[in-house]
């Protein structure tokens, strides 16, 4: 690009601002090019049009971000397809997020029992957690990043198929601190809004903490206290099943571990059954291991059965009115005759 503003090569008007032929003003010179003047730096510092002011073309196609589903978006999904909602409950570092990461990892490899992966609306969120839980980074052992309290509650989606049946699982994950707070201050229980949607509420029990001499006394008490607080404050819907998932089984079943550790876990499971089963028929305990890093020999425990249970059709609620035993009108007695 030429920066000459005058067609006369001997004129240095561009530098000196004076016409070699003495024209004043300079643009009175016939050899002076007005067009080329535009090439001169005006000296203005105004920035060019910013990205924000340049109109961008949109095609109105909304891409699925595949992040965690937030509460506000959940209703739309639940209205579209019948879902089974699983709520994970547990104090900090109980293993909630690791369990989610493990489920994703297992379906990446193939079928789990009779269930195979169909799709997920939260693939990216699953993949991130799976990577953080299992990737060989510079850490000495695999670990999962803590779920932040600021994250609030988020939901993960898995669509699984068995034969001709497909099941949409929605699994919630939130920071353990929220559950700790709700246990000591029951006024906070209504803020655990995911519980009202639950078909299954899973309390994660850390087997390592339960058998640690320093923590076991407090942990035994606080664990059952949390279940009781949620039941007594009617936060768990009556239709929901309650599962206690004993996690980190690998830590109490190392070859060199004292067998008394596992016995202590089983004894506590029995105590929980005795305390809650009579009041909540759908109460049960199960043992799982979602990250066998302390004892590779044990492998992944109880996850195939867990998937099968979570995919079980929720018991249909009988909405028919009860027959009237001593109705005066024939019409009132009809229901009794039909049933």
Ligand X SMILES: Nc1nc2c(ncn2[C@@H]2O[C@H](COP(=O)(O)OP(=O)(O)OP(=O)(O)O)[C@@H](O)[C@H]2O)c(=O)[nH]1
Q: What residues make contact with ligand X under the rule CB under 6 A?
A: 90, 92-98, 142-144, 146-147, 175-176, 247-248, 250-251, 289-291, 293-294
DSSP 324: P
Long-range contacts of 43-48, Cβ-Cβ distance < 8 Å, separation of 24 or more: none
Q: Which does 122 bind (CB under 5 to 8 A by kind): ligand X, Mg ion, none?
A: none
Q: What whole-number distance in Å separates Cα of residue 277 and Cα of residue 242?
A: 9
Stretch 134-173: interaction string toward Mg ion, x if CB under 5 A: -------------x--------------------------
Q: Which does 90 bind (CB under 5 to 8 A by kind): ligand X, Mg ion, none?
A: ligand X
Q: Which does 291 bind (CB under 5 to 8 A by kind): ligand X, Mg ion, none?
A: ligand X
Q: Which of 229, 238, 154 is nearest to 199 (CA)?
A: 238
- Compute how many other C-beta atoms are within 10 angstroms of the C-beta atom of residue 153: 21
Q: Which of 262, 245, 244, 246 is nearest to 254 (CA)?
A: 262
**Least CB distance from residue 214 to ligand X, whole Å?**
17
Binding span for Mg ion by CB under 5 A among 82-90, 97-105, 273-281, 285-293: 97-105
**Least CB distance from residue 71 to ligand X, whole Å?**
18
**Least CB distance from residue 276 to ligand X, whole Å?**
21
Helix or strand holding residue 222 (H, E): helix 216-232
**Least CB distance from residue 269 to ligand X, whole Å?**
16
Angle, vertex CA 326, rays to CA 321 and CA 332, nearest 5:
50
Q: Is the distance from CB of 86 to CB of 198 less than 8 angstroms?
A: yes
Report if residue 97 touches Mg ion, rule: CB under 5 A: yes
Name the site residues for Mg ion (rule: CB under 5 A): 96-97, 147
């Amino acid at each position: 690009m030429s920066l000459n503003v005058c067609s006369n090569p001997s004129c240095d008007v561009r530098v000196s601002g004076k016409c070699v032929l003495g024209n004043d003003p300079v643009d009175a010179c016939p050899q002076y090019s007005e067009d080329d003047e535009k090439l001169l730096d005006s000296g203005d510092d105004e920035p060019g049009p910013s990205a924000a002011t340049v109109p961008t073309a949109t095609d109105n196609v909304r891409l699925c971000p595949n992040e965690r589903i937030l509460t506000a978006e959940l209703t739309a999904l639940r209205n579209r397809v019948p879902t089974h909602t699983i709520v994970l409950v547990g104090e900090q570092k109980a293993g909630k997020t690791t369990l989610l990461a493990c489920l994703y990892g297992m379906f990446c490899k193939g079928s789990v029992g009779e269930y195979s992966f169909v799709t997920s609306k939260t693939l990216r969120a699953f993949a991130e957690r799976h990577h953080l839980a299992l990737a060989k980074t510079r850490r000495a052992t695999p670990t999962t990043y803590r779920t932040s309290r600021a994250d609030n509650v988020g939901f993960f989606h898995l669509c699984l198929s068995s034969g001709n049946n497909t099941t949409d699982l929605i699994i919630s994950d939130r920071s353990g601190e929220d559950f700790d707070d709700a246990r000591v201050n029951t006024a906070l229980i209504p803020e655990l809004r995911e519980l009202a949607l639950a078909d299954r509420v899973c309390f994660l029990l850390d087997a390592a903490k339960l058998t640690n001499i320093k923590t076991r006394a407090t942990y035994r008490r606080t664990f059952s206290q949390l279940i009781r607080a949620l039941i007594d404050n009617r936060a768990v819907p009556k239709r929901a099943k309650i599962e206690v998932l004993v996690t980190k089984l690998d830590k109490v079943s190392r070859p060199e571990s004292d067998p008394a550790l596992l016995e202590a876990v089983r004894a506590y499971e029995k105590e929980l059954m005795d305390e809650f089963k009579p009041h909540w028929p759908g109460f049960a305990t199960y043992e799982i291991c979602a990250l066998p890093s302390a004892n590779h020999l044990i492998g992944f425990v109880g996850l195939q059965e867990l998937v099968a249970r979570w995919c079980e059709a929720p018991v249909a609620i009988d909405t028919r009115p009860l027959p009237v035993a001593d109705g005066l009108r024939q019409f009132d007695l009809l229901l009794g005759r039909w049933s």
